[in-house]
Structure 1
Amino acid sequence: MSSSTSHSIAAEADSARDDLVAAVTESLQSINFDDTPAADMIDMVDTTAKLSKMLDTLDGLPTEPPSLYFDLEGENLSRHGSVSILQLHVLPSSRTYLVDVHTLQHTAFSTCGGNGRTLRELLECDGIPKVFFDVRNDSDALYSHFNIRLARIQDLQLMELATRTFSKKYITGLSKCIERDACLPAAELITWKAVKDAGVKLFAPDYDGSYTVFAKRPLCDAIKLYYAQDAQILPRLWSQYNARMAPAWARKVHETSKERVTLSQTATFNGKGRHMALAPPGWH
């Protein structure tokens, strides 16, 4: 194949992706964002100055309930892929920060706030609870690419399993937990699904999307909303599960969350496959 032909095919693919982004963005205009967790409370953190300012807002936050709710996105999020965005929802301020790891790289975790604390130190601090939903691949990616050892994690997926009244053989994914347990009003649930579908169409190959959308800057509105909305809903799930979790199960969640982080840092960890859907040993 000639170089000119290759360039032509690449240009056509880029054009098709741009058309898809435009179409999805246009479809979002029909969504009533009054029914979402505040769309205007999303901050893109793509410079060290913005990151330092964000870190300054995280001092002295309550630890009960947890103030910090995390998620990560990337292409094949794992040691074998990449990290694009770290989402952080701060419960007391109701703000959601999208930390642009793709742009900032290691400075995303080494930049200091006014008190000298970095995002790395926050993630590794054993005195600050941090809520994730299925921390395994997130931890794998953070440890493999940035040598970050997560500490004091509360894994919402394990909290759901601990409070379940039916079979505990398999774990449940985030989308099903949100639909079943987040108690979203009907209009908000419809909007959540619309934003989820719009984001998936941009990156899922089955919908002619491409994972390259994770690395394209500036991020389109559809992807920003896709990134942010699940993190914004995590506190609702935490509240639901925490309210009905017995103390013995709470201790089990704490210990197994630590075990998940430790496992994700081993040389043989594999974050893909059917084994990832099984409950931890001894839970069922």
Structure 2
Amino acid sequence: MATTAVITTTSVSSENNIEAITEALAKTEIDDIPLTGLINSPAAIATLVDNLYDQPTTTIPSLFLDVEGVNLSRHGSISILQIFVRPQNRTYLVDVHTLGNSAFVTPGKACKKTLKDLLESDTIPKVFFDVRNDSDALFDKFKIDLAGIQDLQLMELATRAFNRRHVNGLSRCIDRHCPITSAERQDWKRTKEEGLKLFAPEKGGSYEVFNERPLPEKIRLYCVQDVQFLARLWSYYYAKMSEKWKVRVLAASKDRVSLSQTPGFNGKGQHKALGPKEWLYY
């Protein structure tokens, strides 16, 4: 951790907690936040939130996000929140496993807003790839009602001229559509495979690896890579969509968030491979 002051939720007594955090905030600058290391202190969260609120909110989104966890859903837990900031070309990894609710309710020093406020803002566009399980977990664990969401998986589906019955996974989208060099493609495949071996049960891994601290380097690289190509895919799909389809994607993304919050939502199964039913008739 590269922050100048590191405070965990158990490192200070409750009566001194606010005073200690305030002092730490005064010492933490944006350059102290690691480029890709874990953000695991309230001081670093506050600085990150100020930084995120400084990003432009024009047509092109600035923020691309993903969530990793153990059985990521209302039935599991959240380990890491990845945030790629497009204007800075920087990825931040928020250590939700360590910070818990502090990751989302610690206010910025300048903006006085929290990460929860940002995630729930409908005026700050945020891009996820298949937001459903991420939303399910965030809503159940931290009462975060996502808004302003653009679902990249739905954007890909919207660019098709036919066969909109089934959605594609992120790996297929990157492989088929992402503008990357040959060297980047090789690095992507290697990093992906090394990460899968550590966390995918079918490859002998365990999702509990996302909760190991220090975070294994191969998992850290996997988390960084998981969001770094989302911005390129967004630009590719956005350029191919008509205005009508852009509106449909926003509406369907909102519907996915609402669905994920219903009591009967099931985040696993073949039904998740189906696109919005009404899109079959457009």
TM-score by length of 1: 0.84
How far, CA to CA, are the matches of 2:255 and 2:130 in structure 1?
12
1:279 aligns with 2:275: yes
**Is the Cα contact below 8 Å between 2:105 and 2:114 reproduced in 1?**
yes
1:62 aligns with 2:51: no
How far, CA to CA, are the matches of 2:94 and 2:253 in structure 1?
24
Deviations 1:13-42 (A, max 9, x none): xxxxxxxxxxxxxxxxxxxxxxxxxxx842
Alpha-carbon RMSD across the aligned residues, in angstroms, is: 1.1
Q: Percent identity of the aligned residues?
A: 55
Counterpart of 2:47, as a letter, is K
1:222 to 218, 221, 228: 218
2:168 corresponds to which residue? 172
1:4 corresponds to which residue? none
1:104 to 99, 104, 107: 99
How far, CA to CA, are the matches of 1:166 and 1:175 in structure 2?
21
1:261 to 247, 257, 260: 257
**Is the Cα contact below 8 Å between 1:181 and 1:237 reproduced in 2?**
yes
How far, CA to CA, are the matches of 1:133 and 1:212 in structure 2?
22
Other structure's SS at 1:83 match? strand
Deviations 1:153-197 (A, max 9, x none): 000001000001341110000010011111211111010010000
How many correspondences in the alignment? 245
Structure 1 gaps, min length 5: 1-39
How far, CA to CA, are the matches of 1:88 and 1:152 in structure 2?
15
Within-5 A mapping of 1:1-284: 41-63=35-57, 64-114=59-109, 115-284=111-280
Structure 2 gaps, min length 5: 1-33
**Is the Cα contact below 8 Å between 2:165 and 2:277 reproduced in 1?**
no
How far, CA to CA, are the matches of 1:134 and 1:204 in structure 2?
19
Q: CA deviation at 1:217?
A: 0.6
Q: CA deviation at 1:207?
A: 2.5
**Is the Cα contact below 8 Å between 1:42 and 1:98 reproduced in 2?**
yes
- More RCO (CA 8 Å, sep 6+): 1
List structure 1 segments (4+ residues) > 4 angstroms apart after TM superposition: none
Other structure's SS at 1:42 match? coil
Counterpart of 1:126, as a letter, is D
How far, CA to CA, are the matches of 1:98 and 1:60 in structure 2?
18
Deviations 1:92-144 (A, max 9, x none): 11110000000000001011111211000000011100000000000000001
